[in-house]
Amino acid sequence: MHKFDVIVVGAGHAGCEAALASARMGMKTAIFSITLDNIGVMSCNPSIGGPAKSHLVKEIDALGGEMGRNIDKTFVQIRVLNTKKGPAVRSLRAQADKQSYHMEMKKTIENTENLDSIQGMVTELLVEGNKVIGIKTQEGVTYSSKTVIIAAGTFMRGLIHIGDKKFQGGRMGELPSNDLPLSLKKIGLELGRFKTGTPPRIDFRSMNFDRLEEQPGNLDQLLKFSSRTLDKDVEGRDQIPCYITYTNPDVHNVITQNKSKSPLFNGTIEGTGPRYCPSIEDKVFRYQEKEKHHLFLEKEGYGTNEVYISGFSTSLPAEVQEKMVKNIYGLEDAKIMRYAYAIEYDYVLPEELQYSLETKKIENLFLAGQINGTSGYEEAAGQGLLAGMNAARKLQGKEPIILDRADSYLGTLVDDLVTKGTNEPYRMFTARSEYRLLLREDNADLRLSQIGYEAGLLDEVTYNLVEKKKRDVLEIIEKLSLSVGSSNKRIEEVLIKKNSGDLKSGTTLLELLKRPRLDYKDIKYIAEIIDGFELGQYPEDTEYQVEVQVKYDGYIKKSLKMIEKHKALEERLIPKDFDYDIVSGITGEAKEKLNEKKPLNIGQASRISGVSPADISVLLMVLKIRGDK
């Protein structure tokens, strides 16, 4: 029998991060894929990042994960979004060379020590006494393992819809996994049904560029996701522009006339779709007052003519798709290379999970990615990384890594899933975090690198650079506390040019930096004018960190006070074996939910739907009487 410490089922974004994490932490690991040709494939859009999603990628990188490095190797365009908004919602987004992205990930997987890649469809989980002990494949081969991580994506009983045509598939052209969900049900896990979709791909050469708006990347900035990517590896890279167009009343009329042919509206599709990534027909019927919807045309790489129509996913019949596309401005002569489709799939209700992503009912069985009810590459990758780390840590006899809402978007994601569950595909937004001003993408390394380093995933050189960055930020802020002294003509010129008011006696550089119209470059210039003062040279990201911390100091302090209250509740632990049924004074619904969710602390208990502040007050009193701390 083949023996492993960790087996990962599925080689998408969650599976790859899970397998790499456990292998790099010294575990003998195997990753299983129905076909090894599709390791790390981008099933839908050819991009990484965007609002909140870039925050997740930066957090994955800070913990020692791979997604940030992989997109840095393979992007064909990169740009910063929301530049006119505050730093909490600014986000990096990269367009990938789709083929290169998955080939680079495949190469990384195959060249990682302790990690075996095995082609095979996993059909059965082997369980003994409520503990997973291995898996069995379609070929009849049995593999034993101390832990198993399921990252099956959309493959579990996957059903593809195009109009009235429906057929089984985990992705277009790939077999579904029909036996694995039966095995999960057999061991007692509760399953649900979700739906997602993808748009058509058209031929780049058939686009009418005269009617399209070109959208280039940020060519004047050196941008990257990973702190471990060298500047020289991204400098000067040729970037491919995207193009913007819109739907119009003619497109909407085609959709309206064919509503009865949409599986989404005629009752054919049973699964719930993503609220925040709706199909084009859903948008047309939900927002009937809108005459047009934004579309982005994204070329899928250097060596292909396939173009992804972002914002145009649909499950309407192929012939209807042809009419829809040809009515879009600039796509009058467009040739469809791949038709759009919707896909239904099984997922496991996230209430089945512990905060470590281990299942409550089956020991040593972990779940990660879309199987937990989430949507998106970045959400999946983050879960995969945590599941891989925690599977390894369990075998090392260590406590699991459970990230807090106040520490990360990853912690928010897991807390939302486990505490609240989800009745639709869960997507991360900055609005989901009450601490978003503190959880910016620019400080992910400062927040999480120590965890990645101590877990054995982040290398010492990178960790030491992050620690130096922390020291440098404090050093700069201390230097900026210096009084500017008396004004002079050159300083006055800067202030007048920036319309920033007069310089009062005793004003510090720190106070000047807090002024809305002055930035760190202005402060550096003013510092050079001051006799005997030397601010020094620091990396650009360090200087940016100083500017954000200084300018938003008041808001940050308010957020820190909120976190203090939050931490106080999180630190009030609840015994794992606590029986809520014996507590009088809390409602029956609260007892049921608390017994089901098994929160680790009062903070988690307070966020469970159906548990009221009054229930929490009673619970706190009972724990105090018992002497639980």
**Range with lowest mean pLDDT among 188-202, 232-246, 487-501:** 487-501
Strand 142-150 to strand 132-137: parallel, antiparallel, or no bridges (unpaired)? Answer: antiparallel
* Contact present, 366 and 391 (Cβ < 8 Å): yes
Return the percentage of the chain with pLDDT > 70, whole number: 99
Contacts of 306 (CB under 8 A, 6+ apart): 201, 202, 203, 204, 299, 300, 337, 338
Query: Is the predicted pLDDT of residue 243 greater than 70, yes or no?
Result: yes
The half-sphere exposure of 506 on its side-chain side, counting CA atoms within 13 A, is 0
At 502 the pLDDT is 80
The answer to whether residue 115 scores a pLDDT higher than 80 is yes
Q: Is the dihedral of CA 503, 504, 507, 511 positive or negative?
A: negative
Give the residue ranges of the annotated binding site for NAD(+): 273-287
In this model, does residue 1 exceed pLDDT 70? no
Give the pLDDT score at 526.
Answer: 85
For the chain, counts of helices (H) and of strands (E): 20, 20
Q: How confident is the model at residue 529 (pLDDT cuts 50, 70, 90)?
A: confident
- Is 284's pLDDT higher than 90? yes
Predicted pLDDT at 23 = 99
Can you tell me the mean pLDDT for 181-185? Answer: 98
How, if at all, do strands 29-33 and 2-9 pair? parallel
pLDDT for 628 equals 61
Six token digits for residue 51: 């609002």
Tell me the CATH number of domain 474-558, given options 3.40.50.2300, 1.10.10.1800, 3.40.50.720, 3.40.50.920: 1.10.10.1800
Residue carrying structure tokens 């009865």: 260
Q: Say if residue 383's pLDDT is above 80.
A: yes
Sign of CA dihedral 178, 179, 185, 189: negative
For strands 142-150 and 2-9, give the pairing. Answer: parallel
Task: Give me the pLDDT at residue 81, please.
Answer: 94
Confidence check: pLDDT of 614 > 90: no
Go through 290-317 and write b for each residue having 16 or more CB atoms within 10 A of its CB, e for each that does not: eeebebbbbbbbeebbbbbbbbbbbbbb
Lowest mean pLDDT among 192-201, 296-305, 570-579: 570-579
The CA-based diameter of the chain, rounded to the nearest angstrom, is 83
From start to end of 252-401, where are the E strands?
Answer: 294-299, 306-310, 336-338, 341-348, 365-367
Angle between helices 53-62 and 444-455 (to 10 degrees): 40
Residue 310, pLDDT > 90, answer yes
At 576 the pLDDT is: 85
Mean pLDDT throughout 520-540?
85
Which tokens is 517 given? 């119209």
Mean pLDDT of the chain: 94
Reading phi first (left if > 0) and then psi (alpha if -120 to 50, else beta), residue 202 is in: beta
CA dihedral 186, 188, 190, 193 (to 10 degrees): -10
Q: Given pLDDT bands bounded at 50, 70 and 90, which one contains residue 615? A: confident
Least confident of 135-139, 472-476, 485-489: 485-489
- Annotated binding residues, written as ranges, equal 10-15, 122, 177, 273-287, 370
Tokens of 136: 């069995």
> Do residues 100 and 74 make contact, with C-beta atoms less than 8 angstroms apart?
yes
Q: How confident is the model at residue 624 (pLDDT cuts 50, 70, 90)?
A: confident
Please state, in angstroms and rounded to a whole number, the distance separating the CA atoms of residues 148 and 560.
38
Query: What ranges make up the beta strands (E) of 120-211?
Result: 122-127, 132-137, 142-150, 159-162, 165-168, 191-198, 201-203
Query: Checking DSSP bridges between strand 115-119 and strand 132-137, what pairing results, if any?
Result: unpaired
d(CA 593, CA 596): 5
Rounded mean pLDDT, 380-401: 99
Which residues are 96's β-sheet partners?
75
What does the pLDDT look like over 437-476, one tens digit per residue? 999 999 999 999 999 999 999 999 999 999 999 999 999 9
Among candidate residues 134, 113, 180, 187, the one with its CA nearest the CA of residue 153: 180
Nearest in space to 197 (alpha carbons), one of 122, 272, 300: 272
How far is C-alpha 127 from the chain's CA centre?
31
Residue 623 — very low, low, confident or very high, per pLDDT cuts 50/70/90? confident
Q: According to the model, what pLDDT value does residue 535 have?
A: 86
Start-to-end Cα distance in the chain: 46
Asked whether the whole model's pTM tops 0.75, one would answer yes
The CATH class, in words, for 572-626 is mainly alpha
- What is the per-residue pLDDT across 590-609, written as a single tens digit (0 to 9) for each? 888 898 888 989 989 888 88
Strands lying side by side in the sheet with 91-96: 47-49, 91-96, 75-81
Neighbour-count burial for 230-245, b at 16+ CB within 10 Å, e otherwise? eeeebeeeebbbbbeb
Q: Are strands 191-198 and 165-168 parallel, antiparallel or unpaired?
A: unpaired
Binding site for FAD, by residue number, is 10-15, 122, 177, 370
Contact (Cβ atoms closer than 8 angstroms) between residue 482 and residue 512: no
Q: What is the mean pLDDT of residues 587-591?
A: 87
Report whether CATH 3.50.50.60 matches the domain 2-197+344-455: yes
Distance CA 523, CA 477 (A): 12
Extents of the domains making up the chain: 2-197+344-455, 201-341, 474-558, 572-626
Rounded distance between C-alpha atoms, residue 156 and residue 194, angstroms: 11
Write out 27-90 in H/E/C secondary structure.
Answer: CCEEEEECCHHHCCCCCCCCEEECCCHHHHHHHHHHCCCCHHHHHHHHEEEEEEECCCCCCCCC
Which one is predicted more confidently, 149 or 488?
149
| Residue 629 pLDDT exceeds 60 | no
Residue 326: alpha-carbon gap to chain centroid: 34
Q: Report the CATH architecture of 201-341.
A: Beta Barrel (2.40)
Quote the tokens at residue 55: 């925050």
Query: Comparing 231-240, 260-269, 292-301, 462-471, which segment has the lowest mean pLDDT?
Result: 260-269
Contact 20, 386 (CB under 8 A): no
Phi and psi, residue 561, nearest 5°: -65, -40
Query: What whole-number distance in Å separates Cα of residue 147 and Cα of residue 19?
Result: 12
pLDDT over 80 at 488, yes or no: no
How many residues does this entry show for the chain? Answer: 629
Neighbouring residues of 312: CB distance < 8 A, sequence distance ≥ 6: 199, 200, 247, 280, 295, 324, 340
The torsion angles phi and psi of 88, rounded to 5 degrees, stand at -65, -30
